Amino acid sequence: MHIPDGIIPVQAALGGYVAAGGAAWLTLVKIRRKYKNPREAIPRASLLTAVFFAASLVHIPLPPTSVHLVLSGLVGVILGWFAFPAILVGLFFQAVMFQHGGLTTLGVNACLIGLPALLSGALFQLRRYFGRNRAVPNALLAFGGGFLAVAVGAFSAALLLTYTIPAHLDAAAERAAIIALSLAHLPVALLEGVFTALVVLFLLRVKPELLELEA
């Protein structure tokens, strides 16, 4: 899901920056409205960003191999509006530290991962209609958030890559590529959903206020 430098044309990269800039502006406006002093939330959001960054390096077994989780759904569930700047910062560090992703594609990647994370956060907030402390609705909404974040991101990335790579694939090959890339991410999306639900159930028992940051 991390598109590296040089793969997509500059128009798409610049478009990604424009979209990510707009999304960052919108989330910062929302954050400023929510907090009287937005800077008071920065240490907490940054520390949680660092947790997600470190946790995304954990190998999760997916026999016969293992995968790294994206955790964008969990970021959205816990950080809410802060999820987008948190993912932007996390992607910046991944590009700097591991050359994972890229500098020109930072905007595109932030949109592919950050916007679905906001969607997951919004989905999880529906729990207020089903009972904040009930395990089953919390787990189902968390699963939906974790699954959607990866599934939507992977599908969008597949669309973007297939339609912007400078080559003339025929329509059938394009469709096949999109379906193949999306299906390849399906097990990871399911795994992310289950993982997000397990973490949310753990937090619900141990530290429920961590799930109330956006309430």
| Footprint of another protein on 55-114 (CB under 8 A) | 55, 57-63, 78, 85-86, 88-90, 92-93, 95-100, 102-104
Beta strands in the chain (DSSP E): 59-62, 65-68
Locus of tokens 């990510």: 20
Q: What three-state secondary structure class fits 9?
A: coil
Report the residue number, 83 or 129, with the smaller CB distance to another protein: 83
Residue choice 23, 148, 150, 199 for contact with another protein (CB under 8 A): 199
- Subset of 157-176 contacting another protein (CB under 8 A): 165-169, 173
Task: Say how many residues touch another protein, by CB under 8 A.
Answer: 72
CA–CA separation, 71 and 64 (whole Å): 21
Asked whether position 7 contacts another protein by CB under 8 A, the answer is yes
Asked whether position 140 contacts another protein by CB under 8 A, the answer is no
Residue 146 CB-density burial (10 A; 0-12 exposed, 13-18 middle, 19+ buried): buried
Report the residue number, 108 or 151, with the smaller CB distance to another protein: 108
Asked whether position 31 contacts another protein by CB under 8 A, the answer is yes
Residue 173's contacts (CB-CB under 8 Å, 6 or more residues apart) are: none
